[in-house]
Chains A and B, each alone.
Chain A
Amino acid sequence: MAEDIVDVLIIGAGASSAAAAWSLSDTKMRILCLEQGDWMNPAGYPSTNKHWQVMLNPDYNQSPNVRRNEADYPINEDESAISVANFNGVGGGTILYSGHFPRLKPSDFKTQTLDGVGDDWPVDYYALEPFFAQNDRNMGVSGLAGDPAIPYHEPPLPPVPIGRMGEVMGKGLNKLGWHWWPSDSAIITEDYEGREKCINLGPCNYGCAQGAKSSVDIAYWPMNQRLGVELKTRCRVREITVDENDMATGAIYFDEDGVEHHQRAEVVIMACNGVGTPRLLLNSKSARFPDGLANRSGLVGKNLMFHPWGFVQGIFEDRLESHLGPMGTCMLSQEFYETDPNRDFVRGYTLQITRGQSAAATAVNHTLRGNIPWGADHHAGFEKYAGGSVNMNICCEDLPEECNTVTLDPNLTDSDGIPAPKITYRLSENSERMMQHGVNKATEALQAAGAFQIDAHGHTRGTGWHLLGTARMGNDPEKSVVNSWGRSHDVKNLFIIDGSIFVTAGAVNPTTTIQALALYIAETMKKNLANLFD
């Protein structure tokens, strides 16, 4: 039997993979994607059940160490100030993300030039701009044009409703003279491309039963499959193989029965996120690459960036019905995004304003804190807090530091015996100062909006949604893992397209930028097909 060799092998079926596969499909090359998880069944998402408030754990928990689905691999986080949040399945992290979709800004791509920290990217905002726009159309993105905190762009759909809570917060921010704007959201607010519009179910972060949240299992993969892209689920890659010429030859993977296969390929694209990609590269050791594949720079797994994340919650007397609506997307303030030399930190943060807590969470949290009493006064206490909470999230820019790493744990393995990743991470002094500033400013905003009680929680550990920087882009092979269009400096037919390639982190949820980069890389590959490996 002839050996099965595909033109393009993509590892992972999340946000970047879906976008790149869509773009490459018009080449008519044979494209195969291997995904370790399975397709999701939206009919099983918590919002389809009356007891959805307690069905969020553990099956839809954001931590693989809690969730422990068959598709998950464990992560040693003992030495990390932030724990990882991910999802393994068709759609990847977009299954559980909020759909909050702000772009990186022009200044994010040149932090060294502007602020003397981090490094400049080898691409800039304007090179990515057409790919942001294309991705907005493919995903179905809502928002309001004209935000003065970002170059002008027109989201294809009108913004998600910010509700009464948004109005109250907007008035408060106006008193302070601060920036705010309805968030760009990967949530369709009108029927779009055969999908039905958002009906404000609420718990978007546990899967959208309506299909209105633009997770890529819905927004991209059905289209990709119609275009001829092949997708195999329950296939966990162990190793990328290479030949004596430093060219990738394919991947060794285990199928759902644990049977080992070797899939040959002309081109390999890594799309496994900022933890999964370095893990797989470090697991792909060979005589030619004794420190892990594509790692002659020694930078694979280094410069891990999350976004240090904090919360401040305000409680309002008005029944704002703040528990209704897409939970993670409402509005944002980027008043403190850009560097200000008068502050005691460099770079900045986004204040992401999100919906309030559900009834059960309100009752539990405020009873345990002593705000709602036991006994006859319980009911009045609950009424005081129900439907009136607003969360201000502080999303801080994390600067790259080589001491923050993804390595291989010497003992921990997944169910196929593949070494698991270990995270070593600490917050920098700059991040600590930025976070304190953010907590103070969020408190000020909630006061201005009229909150009668404000609870500042500051940095919170379980917030490692954004996995960035562990196989960075750059023009210098000694200081980066991939070049300006995602190709490995060391292995000419190996590409990386996920958050690993971020040079700096910005201070926003990264998915839209990850996908714009993936589209940009795919487009550059197509333009260079004749001499792709030169």
Chain B
Amino acid sequence: MADVIATDSFLTEEQSLSLRALLDLIIPADADRGMPSAAELDLVGYVSEFASNQIAGIKTELESLDQAAQREKGALFGELEKNDQQTLCDHLRETDPRFAIAIAVQTLNCYYQDDRVVIALGWKARPPFPEGNEVPQADLSLLDPVRERGRIYRE
């Protein structure tokens, strides 16, 4: 997957602009931690490959977002100033607990499987198989008090 919004997007250009703005509000970049903004990832490509059954819901949520932006601020969400985007987003989240929930869930799934994110978190950017993971065995002398107590089952 590319690291930019794909050109064969299931979204219009306006929707892509609004989506990118919203993603940057959900997970902005954090330079100190080396974490990218969610807007830098290819969410559309990710959804197309792994969550195509969510496309309709995502489009509906973006349409609602742009309608709210037009109604409240007189422009599409992606065309607003950053402060206005934040204010409107906060308002919509307060008034609708399910605001942009499909977008948020797919964003989080995409973000926390992205190589840059996984590496920044100190984890390995690879599938579990075939290299596997190390898990230490604990100090099993911790079981001494359990042993000392003796049998607890009934015959």
Contacts and interface: CB of A to CB of B under 8 A. Distances in A.
Interface stretch (B2-10, B26-34, B60-68, B73-81): B26-34
B108 A200 contact: no
B121 A200 contact: no
A338 B154 contact: yes
Interface centre among B35, B118, B129, B147 (most CB of A within 10 A): B129
A146 interface: yes
Contact of B113 (A51, A105, A107, A375): A51
Interface string A44-67: 010111111111000000000000
Interface centre among B26, B104, B146, B151 (most CB of A within 10 A): B146
Contacts of A48: 127, 129-130
Contacts of A50: 113, 125-127
A61 B39 CA distance: 30
Contacts of A179: 146, 149, 152
A375 B109 contact: no
A374 B134 contact: no
Contacts of A325: 133, 135
B134 to A, nearest CB: 7
Interface string B103-133: 0110011011100001001010111111111
Given A374-B27, A375-B28, A379-B33, A359 B151 contact: no
Contact of A54 (B109, B118, B123, B145): B109
A118 to B, nearest CB: 15
Interface centre among A180, A324, A362 (most CB of B within 10 A): A324
Contact of A161 (B125, B137, B150): B137
A337 B154 CA distance: 10
Interface string A423-435: 0000000000000
Q: Determine chain A's interface SS by DSSP, over half rule.
A: loop
Interface stretch (A77-85, A127-135, A163-171, A251-259): A163-171
Contacts of B140: 144, 182
Interface centre among B26, B51, B135, B136 (most CB of A within 10 A): B135
B142 interface: yes
Interface residues of B, number: 49
Contact of B136 (A51, A161, A210, A367): A161
Interface residues of A, number: 63
B109 A164 contact: no
Contacts, number: 157
Interface string A151-177: 100000001011110110011001001
A360 interface: yes
Interface string A134-146: 0000000000101
A181 B143 contact: yes
Contact of A338 (B27, B118, B153): B153
A452 to B, nearest CB: 20
A149 B142 contact: no
Nearest to B50: A54
Interface stretch (A201-209, A279-287, A302-310, A395-403): A201-209
Nearest to B138: A167
B142 A167 contact: yes
Contact of B134 (A55, A105, A200): A200
Contacts of B51: 54
A363 interface: yes
A47 B129 contact: yes
Contacts of A148: 146-147, 149-153
A203 B127 CA distance: 11
A177 B145 contact: yes
Contacts of B128: 47, 52, 201-203, 209
B71 to A, nearest CB: 22
A367 B108 contact: yes
B94 interface: no
Given A107-B153, A148-B150, A171-B142, 10 more contacts: A144-B140, A148-B149, A161-B135, A202-B128, A209-B130, A210-B132, A335-B152, A338-B154, A359-B121, A367-B108
30 contacts: A48-B127, A48-B130, A51-B50, A52-B128, A54-B51, A105-B153, A106-B155, A107-B154, A146-B147, A148-B150, A163-B137, A164-B138, A170-B138, A170-B142, A170-B143, A171-B142, A200-B134, A202-B133, A210-B132, A325-B135, A334-B152, A359-B118, A364-B109, A367-B104, A368-B101, A368-B104, A374-B104, A376-B28, A378-B26, A379-B35
Interface of B: 25-28, 30, 33, 35, 50-51, 93, 101, 104-105, 108-109, 111-113, 118, 121, 123, 125-140, 142-143, 145-147, 149-155
Interface of A: 45, 47-55, 105-107, 114, 144, 146, 148-151, 159, 161-164, 166-167, 170-171, 174, 177, 179-182, 199-203, 209-210, 321, 324-325, 334-335, 337-338, 359-360, 362-364, 367-368, 374-376, 378-379, 382, 386
